[in-house]
Homo-oligomer: A and B are copies of this chain.
Amino acid sequence: MTADFQSWASDRQARIETFLESRLPKTDCVPERLHDAMRYSVLGGGKRVRPLLAFAAGELASADIERVTVTAAAVELIHAYSLVHDDLPCMDDDVLRRGKPTCHKAFDEATALLTGDSLQTLAFELLAEKCLADAPETQLIMITQLARASGSRGMAGGQAFDLASVGKTLSLPELEFMHIHKTGALIRAAVMLGARCSCHLDESQLERLDHFAKSVGLAFQVVDDLLDTEATTETLGKTAGKDADNNKPTYVSILGISQARELATRLQSEADQVLDSFGESAVRLRQVTDFIVKRKF
């Protein structure tokens, strides 16, 4: 990670934190406990990978950074809601997230349920704010895109598929299908929504960007599986080795460590190649991709 990228990423992470801090209801606003839990689950943690992708795609499209900030925050709220619900006892039943007790551990299950629900709602509230794109019609498309990426044919559908596959042997295409939905869809949405904050890209450019995003989404998941095997709970800030413990099929369980590592590298090359046609304007997207593939947590 170059010093230049490091400073860019820190700036964007701080920007998204400040924005989310300002838009999440204050803890003295009724119902206080719910608002406390919402802030607890969103603020002060996370790599903010999806916002970084949105910012980088926004830069490629010369989009206004204020617009991209709101948009990136909406995507991050969907991600945060999914983590809160995913950690619940009826799902992954996890106790540690971003180095802290999970929401239902720090509060209670009912509060965690409503926290996830309310974070999802807030995501759409933000994305309907005035002037996030050049035309309000584009903004409606952005909302549609986020909804499709999050719903039963996107992220939530991937989670359902994941639950159904516990203890089963999946083929590589089945595993890929699951991850294209579970994590890939929202990562694609982050890239596409960031780009749509301006009207500089034409449909064929957006299509190429989507192709890029699809490769990055898969690369992200392959690396996630590798880290779950190789890293420690302390480094990850969440329970390591969880997939094996839960008998979940992963890229590592299907391919083995070294082939999974090769796959991540190949997906990064594919992603980079798609960016060639964009020239220098794609530098941040390349850097975020590199960060995603080389990260240690």
Contacting pair A136 B128 (CB below 8 A): no
Chain B proximity mask over A211-248: 1 for CB below 8 Å, otherwise 0:
00000000000000000000000000000000000000
Residues of B within 8 A of A33 (CB): 160, 164
For residue A60, give the distance in angstroms from its CB to the closest CB of chain B.
24
For residue A74, give the distance in angstroms from its CB to the closest CB of chain B.
11
For the complex, what is the distance from the CA of A161 to the CA of B152, rounded to whole Å? Answer: 29
Whether A199 sits at the interface, judged by CB under 8 Å, is no
Contacting pair B114 A159 (CB below 8 A): yes
Whether A3 sits at the interface, judged by CB under 8 Å, is no
Whether A85 sits at the interface, judged by CB under 8 Å, is yes
Residues of B within 8 A of A150 (CB): 121
Residues of B within 8 A of A101 (CB): none
Contacting pair A151 B121 (CB below 8 A): yes
For residue A203, give the distance in angstroms from its CB to the closest CB of chain B.
17
Interface residues of A in 124-158 (CB under 8 A from B): 124-125, 127-130, 135-137, 139-141, 143-144, 147-148, 150-153, 156-157
Contacting pair A31 B90 (CB below 8 A): no
Whether A110 sits at the interface, judged by CB under 8 Å, is yes
Of B38, B88, B139, B140, the contact of A152 (CB 8 Å cutoff): B38
For residue A160, give the distance in angstroms from its CB to the closest CB of chain B.
4
Whether A257 sits at the interface, judged by CB under 8 Å, is no
Of B31, B140, B164, the contact of A160 (CB 8 Å cutoff): B31
Contacting pair A128 B111 (CB below 8 A): no
Whether A187 sits at the interface, judged by CB under 8 Å, is no
Contacting pair B85 A117 (CB below 8 A): yes
For residue A30, give the distance in angstroms from its CB to the closest CB of chain B.
7
Whether A270 sits at the interface, judged by CB under 8 Å, is no
| In the complex with contacts A122-B147, A130-B140, A136-B140, A152-B25 CB distance below 8 A | yes
Contacting pair B147 A124 (CB below 8 A): yes
Contacting pair A128 B113 (CB below 8 A): no
For the complex, what is the distance from the CA of A291 to the CA of B109, rounded to whole Å? Answer: 36
